[in-house]
Amino acid sequence: DGGITQSPKYLFRKEGQNVTLSCEQNLNHDAMYWYRQDPGQGLRLIYYSQIVNDFQKGDIAEGYSVSREKKESFPLTVTSAQKNPTAFYLCASSTGNTIYFGEGSWLTVV
């Protein structure tokens, strides 16, 4: 099936640890995005990538890092520098003017 796959669905992190969220798409889309959603809030852009080997900071990039070595993959690392990482993380990809989302990953700091 074509789509965007995020893993893991649920992740628990201890304070001070880095964690990496996976995002894979088989839609042949050039652009990929990471958004963060807090309870009762809209989506805020963390990072985006228009093409392979290039990415740009979004509105809330501090404490996060990404890579885009392959067209299909855009992993997000939540570093220990991110002070409030507990949230719902959404990966997306786009072709033309429409953006499609994966099912999300829930990250909780324990």
Partner 1 sequence: QKEVEQDPGPLSVPEGAIVSLNCTYSNSAFQYFMWYRQYSRKGPELLMYTYSSGNKEDGRFTAQVDKSSKYISLFIRDSQPSDSATYLCAMRRGDTGRRALTFGSGTRLQVQP
Task: Output 11 or 43, the one with its CB closest to partner 1.
Answer: 43
DSSP 73: B
Q: Which residues from 62-91 bind partner 1, rule CB under 8 A?
A: 88, 90
Q: What is the rounded distance in angstroms from the CA atom of residue 100 to the CA atom of residue 107?
A: 21
Dig out the tokens for 2 from the structure: 């074509």
Q: Which residues from 18-47 bind partner 1, rule CB under 8 A?
A: 31, 33, 35, 40-45
Q: What is the rounded distance in angstroms from the CA atom of residue 62 to the CA atom of residue 73?
A: 21
Q: How far is the CB of 80 from partner 1 (least distance, A)?
A: 26
Q: How far is the CB of 13 from partner 1 (least distance, A)?
A: 19
Of 20, 6, 110, 23, nearest to 70 by C-alpha is: 23
Task: Output 27 or 31, the one with its CB closest to partner 1.
Answer: 31
Task: Output 59 or 69, the one with its CB closest to partner 1.
Answer: 59
Q: What is the rounded distance in angstroms from the CA atom of residue 86 to the CA atom of residue 24?
A: 22
Residues that bind partner 1 (CB under 8 A): 4, 31, 33, 35, 40-45, 48, 50, 56, 58, 88, 90, 94, 97-104, 106
